[in-house]
Amino acid sequence: MSDHQRERPGQVIGFLVLALTFLACTPTPPGYANSDFGQAINNARLANEGFTRCQRFVQGWLKYADPKTGLIPRNLDKDKDIWNAQDCAGDNYPFMVLTAAVTDRELFNGRMLDMLRTETKLTSRIGNLPDTYSFSKQGFAQAEPDLSRIIFGSAEYVKDGLLPLTEWLGKSPWCDRMLALLDDIWKHAPIETKYGNIISTSQEVNGEMLQTLSRIYWMTGEKKYLDWAIRLGDYYLLDGHHPTRDEKMLRLRDHGCEIISGLCELYATVSFALPEKKQAYERPLQQMLNRILEVARNEHGLFYNWVDPQTGQHDKNLADTWGYDFNGYYTVYLIDRIESYRDAVRKALSNLNEHYRNYPWEGTSADGYADSIESAINLYNREPVPSVADWLDSEIKRMWNIQKEDGVIEGWHGDGNFARTTIMYCLWKTAGLTIAPWRQDVIFGAVQDGGTLRIVLLAENAWQGKLIFDVPRHKVNMKLPLDWPRINQFPQWFTVEADKTYTIYDLTGNSKATHTGSQLSEGVGVDLQPSTEQHLIVR
């Protein structure tokens, strides 16, 4: 049983009295029998710490923003004079935006949006495509534009930063920026192939594009995005660039793993949109995945950093992005029901708690922890192996302990990944719930048991606001036909459908109310009294 489904025995006398009074006076929730909210309050405290740490991260970095432009630097030791697309915009800034979206709407609608407008105005160099900007020069760092550099930075900005924001926010100015970049990237695609021009020969860049295009095709319904993705799919799966058959080096960690997930996301897309192309890709894709399983895993089922797929020679170190690769396997499992792919995912998950507590991912960097924790959260959402919950609770604290007093993590652009993964963790602990307005002394958490959600809210001081329920964002925001696992997505836990009805039982106020999913996603009013737990059950 997973952590977000587990209940614990034992209750305080005060709550028993409250529950018995409620049972005598109001209709009882179906299946309700002296439920325990202890795990929910524990989840609330952990989520509150995580959200607070993300706020501190944002405030810490904003202190180092360039006074004239308001943009953040690439790093705080070297490269303090520049803003660039692949690092500042791709890794750090977007998760400042996300933190503000969840915890500080004034900052979100103000300074975060101003930074987007400034970046767009100052750094766009080839059409909408950005180039590196120097604060001291008040202009571009390089005298002449280099198309390959600019395409690389733009692709990183789109996939690592703007795409996760769009999956969470839906339509927004950040979504508009993403589409403008994507269109101009392909407008200037410089590499000629027999399938049409592509943007790069790099597996990293093309893998990022495969992921992005496969999702944006569904979001927009525009066929050009699928056409561009198929160019890449044909190039890798139907030509002489097959990742395991034709290459002597396959990188399975960051900066290489993107091609595996990217090809699998395209495979999922054509399975629904273009079945004849799915049939053409099936055998070469499975050949790639099978060969990687044969030669690129250790005894616990985790991937090495790199492998020579021809000889089986591999690096001795493990990829912190192991789950990024497994996202692709699980996606193909969802399409073709190949049990060995699911078994491979479950094997890796089941070994984490016993063998990989405090493992030195990337030399114990916060970024290494972030990628490995994200790997586990995303797959645990699909395969709730019980021991994974304990591992996540252990490893998130190790990552949190790296944060400095001023809120900065390590002082480089990878700090944004700390916030990205922390918010993923917090949303697990709240089952996707958020509140507005967020306030540090207001804690909220939940435990999910199938279609039932137990919620605890508690505030040190009186608070009035809204409790906002999550929606199936893969359908609502992205219009995906299937919620396949995606790099940097924010997994869905308890979601509400707009036209369905839900009953909220307020055990503290001895009442119940019925709402539509649409009303719950807009937020239901909550009035918290100081230091008084509010217990809700949602069906």
pLDDT for 259-270, tens place per residue? 999 999 999 999
The structure tokens 């939940």 sit at 446
In angstroms, the CA 439 to CA 419 distance is 18
Do residues 351 and 345 lie in contact, with contact meaning Cβ atoms separated by under 8 Å?
Answer: no
pTM of the model: 0.93
Average pLDDT over residues 330-339: 98
Residue 211 pLDDT > 80, yes or no?
yes
Q: What is the mean pLDDT of the chain?
A: 93
Q: Which residues of 29-47 are buried (b: 16+ CB within 10 A; e: fewer)?
A: beebeebbbbbbbbbbebb
In angstroms, the CA 172 to CA 159 distance is 16
Residue 10 pLDDT > 50, yes or no?
no
Confidence at 391, pLDDT banded by 50, 70, 90? very high
CA dihedral 155, 161, 164, 165 (to 10 degrees): -120
Do residues 446 and 40 lie in contact, with contact meaning Cβ atoms separated by under 8 Å?
Answer: yes
Residue 373 pLDDT > 60, yes or no?
yes
- Per-residue pLDDT, 35: 53
What value, to the nearest 5°, has the Cα angle with vertex 307 and ends 207 and 302? 85
Q: Bridge partners of 535?
A: 456
Average pLDDT over residues 116-141: 98
Which tokens in the block code for residue 33?
A: 């029998």
Distant-in-sequence, close-in-space partners of 117: CB < 8 Å, separation ≥ 6: 173
Domains, the chain, in order of start with CATH, read 1-64+417-539 (2.60.40.1180), 65-416 (1.50.10.20)
Residue 61 pLDDT > 90, yes or no?
yes
Burial of 338 (0-12, 13-18, 19+ CB in 10 A): middle
- Per-residue pLDDT, 255: 84
Do residues 133 and 141 lie in contact, with contact meaning Cβ atoms separated by under 8 Å?
Answer: yes
The helix, strand and coil proportions of the chain, stated in percent and rounded to the nearest 5, come to 50, 15, 35
In angstroms, the CA 399 to CA 364 distance is 9
Do residues 379 and 424 lie in contact, with contact meaning Cβ atoms separated by under 8 Å?
Answer: no
Confidence at 29, pLDDT banded by 50, 70, 90? low
